[in-house]
């Protein structure tokens, strides 16, 4: 199960099995998106991006069954674990931004989920501006692990909503790029590639696009971020990240104003 070359097919099989066990006939589909389907998954440096689609919102008890199996599954892999949202079919077919979700988990939430699972479950529902980007990627390049093909489940995301999701992800880049240089450098590149050319790219593809389209002064930073991402390694601060982030945010906002 999973894309050719994906190193952890058993992880995907186990995730689908736990979705079916927790949600039963309410489960409509399970979808893989992100680096695993875009050819740039790193066996230890990447997380596994998944969406579970249900007809109705699962009960808190069903979510607890799901969480109790998800925690050891996500924590037991050599990669960075699972990032997943549970979303309703109606919100996939006719997405409105920001898109609602009824459950979310990533490894950044582990401590809270283990300490207070009931409270975590109650709080992990709402709306997420990031989901517009996740839905767009899933529709364009995602993989159904269970259920109908992505294009039959995920409606089109407007350019404006996708752009807003991009901006939400990087709007504090000048302040945060020193702490997250690889992630933010490559996400800024792929965001501008979308706004200028309509391309839905992985982080690695975004970095490659940046090397071909952005000013020469920023190419060493982009190249260093791309090399670190492909190797699954951290990256030293090159000193020009803040200037790059401000340049890219100005470019992103200029493209958005042109709509």
What pLDDT does 235 receive? Answer: 87
Range of the domain at 145: 9-153
| Domain termination site, one of 135, 153, 171 | 153
User: 54-110: per-residue pLDDT in tens?
Assistant: 999 999 999 999 999 999 999 999 999 999 999 999 999 999 999 999 999 999 999
Same domain? 38 vs 164: no
Determine, yes or no, domain membership for 4: no
pTM: 0.94
Q: Answer yes or no: is pLDDT of 237 > 80.
A: no
User: Position of tokens 């950044």?
Assistant: 108
Q: Can you tell me the mean pLDDT for 13-41?
A: 97
Specify if 2 maps to a domain.
no
At 196 the three-state DSSP class reads helix
Count the domains in the chain: 2
User: Is residue 213, in this structure, part of any structural domain at all?
Assistant: yes
Q: What is the pLDDT of residues 133-170, one digit of tens each?
A: 999 999 999 999 999 999 999 999 999 999 999 999 99
**210 lies in a domain?**
yes
Instruction: Report the DSSP beta bridge partners of residue 29.
Output: 53
pLDDT at 252 > cutoff 80: yes
Question: Which of 153, 181, 204 delimits the end of a domain?
Answer: 153
Match 């875009």 to its residue by tokens: 38
Choose one of 92, 118, 153: the last residue of a domain: 153
CATH (domain of 145): 3.30.460
DSSP state of 202: -
Residues, the chain, total?
A: 259
Same domain, yes or no: 36 and 144: yes
Asked if the model's pLDDT at residue 9 lies above 90, the reply is yes
Where does the pLDDT of residue 259 fall: very low under 50, low under 70, confident under 90, or very high at 90 and above? low
């Amino acid at each position: 199960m999973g894309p050719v070359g994906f190193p952890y097919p058993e992880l995907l099989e186990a995730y689908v099995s736990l979705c079916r066990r927790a949600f039963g006939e309410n489960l409509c589909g399970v979808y893989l998106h992100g680096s695993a389907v875009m050819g740039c998954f790193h066996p230890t440096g990447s997380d596994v991006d998944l969406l579970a689609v249900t007809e109705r919102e699962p009960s808190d008890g069903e979510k607890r069954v799901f969480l109790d199996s998800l925690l050891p599954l996500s924590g037991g892999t050599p990669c960075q674990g699972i990032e997943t949202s549970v979303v309703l079919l109606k919100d996939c077919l006719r997405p409105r931004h920001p898109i609602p979700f009824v459950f979310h988990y990533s490894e950044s939430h582990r401590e809270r989920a283990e300490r207070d699972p009931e409270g975590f479950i109650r709080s992990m529902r709402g709306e997420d501006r990031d989901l517009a980007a996740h839905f767009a990627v899933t529709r364009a390049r995602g993989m159904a692990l269970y259920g109908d093909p992505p294009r039959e489940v995920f409606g089109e995301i407007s350019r404006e909503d996708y752009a807003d999701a991009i901006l939400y992800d990087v709007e504090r880049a000048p302040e945060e790029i020193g702490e997250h240089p690889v992630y933010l450098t490559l996400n800024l590149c792929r965001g501008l590639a979308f706004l200028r050319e309509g391309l839905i790219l992985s982080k690695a593809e975004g970095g490659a696009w940046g090397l071909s389209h952005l000013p020469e002064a920023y190419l060493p930073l982009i190249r260093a971020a791309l090399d670190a991402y492909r190797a699954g390694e951290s990256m030293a601060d090159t000193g020009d990240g803040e200037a790059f982030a401000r340049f890219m945010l100005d470019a992103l906002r200029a493209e958005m104003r042109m709509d």
